Amino acid sequence: MSGNAVEVRNVSKTFRVYHDRNQSIKATVLKGGRAKYEEFWALRDVSLDVPQGETFGLLGLNGSGKSTLLKCIAGILQPNAGTIVSRGRMAAMLEVGSGFHPELTGRENIYLNGAILGMSDREVDRKLESIIDFAGVERFIDHPVKNYSSGMYVRLGFSVAIHTEPELMLVDEVLSVGDKDFQAKCLQKFDDLKADGKTVVVVSHSMGTMRTFCDRAAWLEHGELQAIGRASEIVDRYTGKGGEAVELGDGIKRFGTGEIQFTDIEVLGEDGAPLDSVDPTQPVTIRLSFLAHEPIERPDFAISIRDAQQTAVFNITGHDREWLPERIPAGHGSVDIRIASLPVRAGGYHIVADVRAEGAETPADKVWGAKRFDVRHGDHRTSGGTLYLPSGFDGLRSGDATASGTLRLMPR
Amino acid sequence: MSAIAEPARARSRRITLNLLKNLTLREIRSEYKRTALGRVWSLINPLAQIAIYGIVFGLIFRAEPEPGINSGIHVFALWLGVGIVTWGFINVGIRDAMQSFLGYQGLLKKVALPRWTLPASKVLARAATYLTEVAVVAIICGILGGWEILLRIWMLVPLIALTIVFIYGIGLVLAVGIVYFRDIEHFWGIITQVLFYASGVMIPRNVVETVQVETLDAGGYTFLGGPVPLLAVFEANPIYQFLTAYRRVLYDFAIPEWQLLLSLTLWAVGTAVVGLLVYTRFQAKIVEEL
């Protein structure tokens, strides 16, 4: 296997978003042109290669442009700029059962759908048994498809599409059709395709599928390519679970794009001295020292104080306090987060620090466990709970004939 | 397996033709699905129309075409029948083709396919219906006018081919246009009504000529400084010309004049060229405009 099944070069695609979608001649004449519109960039300068025989995933949020890219590869949409070259017979499964006619029988629809997907009648003749068998609709094959259950409908559509035996298969979210058994059959079929050296490009929101199913993946955001690489790595980075985070030793982990990085995280007492042990009644300052490798606009610093069970006892972000410096120049710096007191119960705690450009999906830097400290109660002890609140017992009264409150809680 | 030996271009043409065939069959099969009479309806419809218009115009208004040249048939309803089924073919063919991109928008948005096949399949399906209708009319003409109809009936083949091309050209322009301006559909509805009368479906040429000579010319009406060219406009209408050609074959048992055939060929080629130009220019953008 050599060469690329798909080559996408500098592809951009814009859509017109109409303010007043009035498709009429009158509007055109009166306004001297069609209705006003804005350009919406669905894809911006995307380049990627899908080597032959690879299963390639496209991931991103809704509206990130992955389906648009798939449609451009399929030839349904035409990019405004750039080129897309694909080799070999292609089948696009952007929707299963496209073009089914509800009044026609399953058998008639197989021929119709097969023709739409580029199969000859003879080819369908040859594969008919297998198509019907795979879809599991033998008993209903001569009934109109409008009488099919939705499951049967999609199974038949999927079955026709998969039997086109394409060199290149484009799949959009159709791995989730049918029941568990059918899904297993589909995945088996895709594995067969893979084993035969066929190329598959898949869009899915199921990260599990992506991770196990795809060799490589590309991550799109707002129509721009964010990253491309091994599927598991891309999924980890996309989900931000830190799977790809770098271990720094001593249980410290780091993840992020790295424009700005934390250099140290300290907990300081009132006198400015670093602490490893905190009194819950005293003010503390958390100092985040950082190195900006490049200037960063409106950085959003955040910390999370977590206990040994990873429960966040306190989170604060710059955004929460509307504290977003306009711009931080390149170089070293630090920022203090002042906390009046940290009234939590005794135990071990650690700080997770995060900094990212305002509103960014991924942090520039995120560090777990960079600062660990204990909370000590001194002469105070509690037997559980989350908070430590200065407290005491007092005012014992006993042996009286009358109650001090109502008898609300006594049985009548 | 055989794909290796076959050149890519031939293969893609074969696939496209197969698609066109299947889409056409889809149209034909689904048209009378779930009706008790099925395809018989495609015979009943024109017969009913012939009866209605025959009674209204032939009996009540006493319209009178000239007798068939070679056939000697002198039956208004039959003269009308040829016009009605042909008009139905042209009218509905254009309308179906016009609506094809909109009607198939679900498919267009999800599958890459040669889009021109969609209006083409509509026109071809309509042509298939026309074949049964025109066969009924031809049989009746044969019964009334004699076996000589068989001498000229082959002329229907090139005529129908020209009609298909003509309809397809117009339908393609409208199908693309309607994606951008939905108003075209309603606008075309009005045009159709005008065309129905302007194409002489039930108005014989001699009626128009009488109006031209006795009313307009004798009355001294002028249009842009000259006589009102009613008859000239009437005869210039390509649909009138198509109807005339079909009547030559089926009603007169004659070969249409060569001038007429030339004119029809030019019209067909002209509309097809314009249609394909419009299609080529806009087809890539259709999906996102839908």
CATH superfamily ID and name for A246-375: abc- transporter (atp binding component) like domain (2.70.50.60)
Give every strand in the sheet of A224-230, ordered side by side.
A90-93, A168-172, A199-203, A55-59, A216-221, A224-230
**β partners of residue A292:** A260, A331
Higher-pLDDT residue of A154 and B260 is: B260
Res. A24 pLDDT band, cuts 50 70 90: low
CB atoms under 10 Å from CB of B32, counted, come to 16
- A316 contact B CB<8A: no
Q: Is the pLDDT of residue A409 over 90?
A: no
State the average pLDDT over residues B17-28.
90
Q: Are A170 and A91 in contact (CB under 8 A)?
A: yes
Q: Are A110 and A128 in contact (CB under 8 A)?
A: yes
Res. B4 pLDDT band, cuts 50 70 90: very low
Residues within 8 A of B (CB atoms), A 192-221 only? none
Cross-chain Cβ contact B110/A98 below 8 Å: yes
pLDDT value at residue B1: 38
Please give the angle made by the CA atoms of B52, B58 and B59, to the nearest 5 degrees: 90
Contacts of residue A76, defined as CB under 8 A and 6 or more positions apart, other chains included, come to A92, A94, B108, B109, B110, B111, B112, B287
DSSP B212: I
Cross-chain Cβ contact A23/B23 below 8 Å: no
- A76 contact B CB<8A: yes
Comparing CB atoms, the residue among B18, B23, B26 nearest residue A121 is B18
Q: Is the pLDDT of residue B133 over 80?
A: yes
A61-115 pLDDT per residue, tens: 777 888 889 999 988 888 988 999 988 888 887 877 777 888 888 999 999 989 9
- A45 contact B CB<8A: no
pLDDT value at residue B193: 94
pLDDT value at residue A243: 44
Provide the token pair at A317.
Answer: 């972000």
Hey, what's the torsion of the CAs at A186, A188, A193, A194, to 10 degrees? 120
Cross-chain Cβ contact A115/B180 below 8 Å: no
Comparing CB atoms, the residue among A25, A94, A101 nearest residue B183 is A25
Alpha helix locations (H) across B32-155?
41-53, 76-98, 100-103, 105-110, 117-145, 149-152
Chain B closest-CA separation from residue A119 CA (Å): 7
Residue type, A235: V
Q: Is the pLDDT of residue A241 over 60?
A: no
Higher-pLDDT residue of A260 and B70 is: A260
Coil/strand/helix, residue A149: coil
pLDDT value at residue B276: 96
- Counted across chains A and B, CB pairs separated by less than 8 A come out at 87
pLDDT value at residue B3: 42
Q: Is the pLDDT of residue A333 over 90?
A: yes
A129-149 pLDDT per residue, tens: 999 999 888 899 999 988 988
Chain A residue with Cα closest to B15 = A118
Res. B273 pLDDT band, cuts 50 70 90: very high
B176-185 pLDDT per residue, tens: 999 988 889 9
Q: Are A234 and A213 in contact (CB under 8 A)?
A: no
Q: Is the pLDDT of residue A247 over 80?
A: no
Q: What does residue B238 show for φ and ψ, rounded to 5 degrees?
A: -60, -30
Q: Is the pLDDT of residue B2 over 70?
A: no
State the average pLDDT over residues B164-182.
94
Please give the angle made by the CA atoms of B48, B49 and B50, to the nearest 5 degrees: 90
Comparing CB atoms, the residue among A28, A77, A120 nearest residue B288 is A77
pLDDT value at residue A25: 59
Question: What residues in A contact B181, CB-CB < 8 Å?
Answer: 23-25, 28
Question: What residues in B contact A101, CB-CB < 8 Å?
Answer: 26, 30
State the average pLDDT over residues A339-347.
88
Res. B115 pLDDT band, cuts 50 70 90: very high
In a mutagenesis test of the A interface, which of B113, B115, B280 is the best target, namely the one with the most A β-carbons within 10 Å? Answer: B113
Strands (DSSP E) along A60-215, which ranges?
A: 81-86, 90-93, 168-172, 199-203
Comparing CB atoms, the residue among B111, B284, B288 nearest residue A15 is B288
Q: Are A37 and A109 in contact (CB under 8 A)?
A: no
pLDDT value at residue A338: 92
Res. B6 pLDDT band, cuts 50 70 90: low
CB atoms under 10 Å from CB of A107, counted, come to 18
Measured in whole angstroms, the distance separating CA A138 from the mean position of its chain's CA atoms is 39
Higher-pLDDT residue of A412 and A121 is: A121
Q: Is the pLDDT of residue B213 over 80?
A: yes
Res. A332 pLDDT band, cuts 50 70 90: very high
B61-114 pLDDT per residue, tens: 777 777 777 777 888 888 888 999 999 999 999 999 999 999 988 888 888 889
Comparing CB atoms, the residue among A104, A119, A120 nearest residue B30 is A104
Helix (H) or strand (E) holding A246: strand A246-249
State the average pLDDT over residues B254-268.
94
Residue type, B78: L
In chain A, where are the structural domains located? 246-375
Question: What residues in B contact A30, CB-CB < 8 Å?
Answer: none
Chain B closest-CA separation from residue A99 CA (Å): 5
Q: Is the pLDDT of residue A34 over 60?
A: no
B24-70 pLDDT per residue, tens: 988 888 877 777 777 788 788 878 888 888 888 778 877 777 777 77
